[in-house]
Chain A
């Protein structure tokens, strides 16, 4: 599904990713953990194609296709989805209209007609029930005045609507209370299949109790310094990140 080779990226003069190697296969859940400033969100943004970051070395392949020079929208059309840590507020554009636009743009890119209104409504109803989202919520302006939890739930609703091949959840657990966390995790779990893959970026082990990873990677100073199974997350929870830092120095 996703293959990253020796990825280096920088913003302005600052190198943030310093040689990332990562392979994610269909049907897998990967967790990426690490201290603040280790490059987790940058990695997510680079995979999604944010132009602010310059890739200086290495490649990102999605299903064997090099994503170099591919715009964020084209990546989205190919099946990449990024759940934002800080979703942006768009006043005047309702959640429903936003999703209609996003889905139909994606269909247009694939040479398909607009989705018929009745199918769209059915899809919206189905997916909003999955995320336990009130219908009234869908006619509100996108993210405007949403609570932290509502924003994150709305991100996963968008993911459910767009049905990506590769979903990257960037700190989706931050700002969520335990009930919201359960709803969001439940939504992600129901969307998981053998044909798609999920990368969960998180600071804490908490979310991983609900979305159980097949692999856990620790990012530190722009590199993956340790990989393991779900037990690694528990170990990190217990010991913190300091022991890893020392290990890399040695």
Chain B
């Protein structure tokens, strides 16, 4: 039985574990129909031309983990931003771990999607927001919607700011030979609310893991959301991240994606600007090698006038690594005075590494500023010579130049401890100990 058939037939078993009378279940039923009709995306589709899911579909993934796994905090501490205090929503093999988590209902809700779906007090919010911005057409999103049951639920009311950043962490333990995970997150920032979120997926053994995640983020008027995705997983872990962001007047949403490892990583990051004076920022650093694959597909839909979007993605590809950047910007006819900026710069460290980069602009308004640029190159030999002539060995000089190349993406990281952490990850990735803390 192929993976698609297995998933579709599992839906019946899944229905036994959820409240089928809840209105959300109608949404799930619609979604499984869409997935059944469309199936997994293939390379024939333009959006999936450079990313193949064929190999993944040949793996016999468990769709529901058979047993619960326990993890000790001290064994996984290093995957948290443990230098500072954070709220934590932690899942182990897709199951919520109350032991590792630190949730809250004190003025803000930092808790579980399953609670939000099951408890009557959340019903109104679920009715208003659930699956409202996520695609009903995209088959991977539909697959997630069909099985949506667990994930993070974060609700920050008007004028509130949580006391500390929120970490959403998914561990997979390898208890299953191969495991499919489908977390579903709903994140709502009401007017003037602010929050910082760090999301991480981490497998702890070399068993196959395939995560198909959907996150919906709603930023109301003047809300401010910083979202950091840390993708530094093993080479047996694959991730399809589908993130949908709805922004209202004056809101600022920044998403940073750090892709440092994984077998296959696909980031579908979609911004919808449903208001004026909105700022949408997407930044990414990708550093991969071996046969790893990272695909960034971004979309910014400028629907209203006087908004801005900024995209800055840097990639360093070694050995046989492959990368994709596809940045789509749509500016509607009424979205005058739009300012859309997009930049994608890449360094290929090896002859065998490849990157496919493509800006895709659909502009229907006439009074807009849109700029885009992409570069693919090697390290600057003159710069390398400059550093060597100061006594810095070639290997360190190369690393320093790559660091300098990727660094400006980090400037907008607003959690200093996270910035230090990412800097160290970059230094580790580049395999050097420099004479100072990056």
A-side interface residues toward B, CB under 8 Å? 45, 48-52, 71-73, 75-77, 80-82, 84, 86-88, 90-93, 97-98, 100-106, 109, 114, 158, 162
Contacts and interface: CB of A to CB of B under 8 A. Distances in A.
12 contacts: A45-B385, A49-B388, A73-B388, A73-B397, A76-B389, A84-B386, A84-B389, A86-B382, A91-B407, A91-B408, A105-B435, A162-B391
Interface stretch (B298-306, B315-323, B367-375, B398-406): B398-406
B435 A114 contact: yes
A92 B89 CA distance: 33
A209 B225 CA distance: 60
Contacts of A76: 388-391
Contacts, number: 84
Contacts of A97: 435-436
Given A101-B436, A114-B435, A90 B393 contact: no
B386 A73 contact: no
A105 B408 contact: no
B403 A93 contact: yes
B388 A72 contact: yes
Contact of B391 (A50, A88, A102, A114): A102
B341 to A, nearest CB: 18
A76 B390 CA distance: 6
A100 B435 contact: yes
Contact of A90 (B388, B396, B404, B436): B404
A92 B401 CA distance: 10
Nearest to A98: B390
A88 B383 contact: yes
B386 A88 contact: yes
Nearest to A52: B381
Contact of B380 (A48, A88, A106): A88
A243 to B, nearest CB: 35
Nearest to A50: B385
B84 interface: no
B403 A92 contact: yes
Contacts of A81: 389
Nearest to B434: A101
Given A90-B401, A91-B404, A109 B389 contact: no
Given A73-B388, A97-B436, 15 more contacts: A50-B385, A73-B392, A73-B393, A73-B394, A76-B389, A88-B380, A88-B383, A90-B383, A90-B404, A91-B404, A92-B404, A98-B390, A104-B435, A105-B435, A162-B390
Contacts of B382: 86, 88
